[in-house]
Amino acid sequence: MTTATAQFEIQPLFQPQQRNQWNCRYRIPNLLVSRNGVIFALPEERVNSIADESKHHLVLQRSFDNGRTWTDLEVLFANDNPRVSHSYGGGVADLDTGRVFVFFGVGVVIGPDDIGGAWPEKWKTEHPEEAAALQKKLAPHIDGGRYVIWTEDDGETWSDPRSLGDTLHVTNPVTGEKRGFGPQFTGIQLRHGPHKGRLIIPGRGRTQGAPFALYAYDHNYVVYSDDHGETWQPGGLAQTGTGEACVAELSDGTVYLNSRNESLRCRGYRAWDRSHDGGEMFIESGYDLGLPEPHCAASIARCSESPNRILFCNPAVHSDTPTHYDHAARRNLTVRLSEDDCRTWPVGRTVYEGPAGYSALAVAIDGTILCAYETLTEKSYSGTIMLARFNLEWLMGEKK
């Protein structure tokens, strides 16, 4: 896409399928672009249920032509035990070394039927010892935890998994309690300032387990590496009441987190935090009244043509319902463009007017903008992930 003609197209990227004994559907798209321009698409493959607590497989598709065509689905990690899950947990491309890192978690599925109909996420957070005992009972041979793998040849081969152990944690700023966390979604590599070359991935953690209160104890944060992925360490903590962050580097090297807002403050608008030391501490925070949201994840990416141009995508519907989840409001998927380092968003176009949820933005090596996104049915997720490909001329629309 090198001409000035506006271009826009949509294609299915992942669709429900039956593979072996598994009924597979897809949620939570993620896109990574390697140094050589190979695009990695890594969704959550959810097995026999679309629910968050379902069994997951770690799967991958790649594109070698800027997202026009894709390889067949590759299964990186799976287990025949219906209780054993391999969940995608973040990724980042090192543009200096060519390595692409993928984080994932190995866990044991606990469903509502196992715990008297309770919501598993809340129950496991508030009852960590009972959850650990139940997981050991259900799958005693599984050594759960968080791992990282990497490829040095654009996904042709992969390293053995390396355990992260307990190196990643979020600390309660009042009590000093340390609680484990995991990376989430797509990371970046800093290209400016004193921390140039640093790898950063957003994540999510809770500084306190009980009571389960997302508005009070849920925080976003980052994990970073200064040695090209040899070691990883926890970075700064974002404001309270944030979850599911996307991260970008601004033109002066500032690390910008844009977060789903679980807080009671400015409900229905995105939260933001800024760090001026490469993500080690976030000292500025607020809410963006130009970015309405229905309590849903979003995505962000730097536009390759200018360092202060940033792309942002989410279901652009304001919802201030008293819950962290408003299924009906997840629609009108919109891509916006900021030309002043995320302070204002003067450009925006709708990619998909219908029900849509989580998204992933990436910019291909030729400048093509890619947006992978979930579609929804009236009551749930369809299990399909679509891919929109367009250029800056289409996005600018009437402004140009």
Residue 393: how many CB atoms within 10 A of its CB? Answer: 15
Domain ranges of the chain: 18-163
How many CA atoms, within 13 angstroms, populate the side-chain half-sphere of residue 92? 28
Phi, psi of 51 (to 5 degrees): -65, 155
* CB burial string 187-212: b at 16+ within 10 A, e below: bbbbeebebeebbbbbbbbbbbeeeb
pLDDT band at 323 (very low <50, low <70, confident <90, very high): low
Question: Measuring CA to CA, which residue among 287, 313, 286, 282 is closest to residue 300?
Answer: 313
Task: Tell me the average pLDDT of the chain.
Answer: 93
| pLDDT of 327 | 82
pTM, to two decimals: 0.96
Q: Thinking of the domain 18-163, which architecture would CATH place it in?
A: 6 Propeller (2.120)
Q: What is the pLDDT of residues 252-306, one digit of tens each?
A: 999 999 999 999 899 999 999 999 999 999 999 999 999 999 999 999 999 876 7
Q: What is the pLDDT of residues 131-174, one digit of tens each?
A: 999 999 999 988 889 999 999 999 999 999 999 988 888 877 78
- pLDDT at residue 311 tops 90: yes
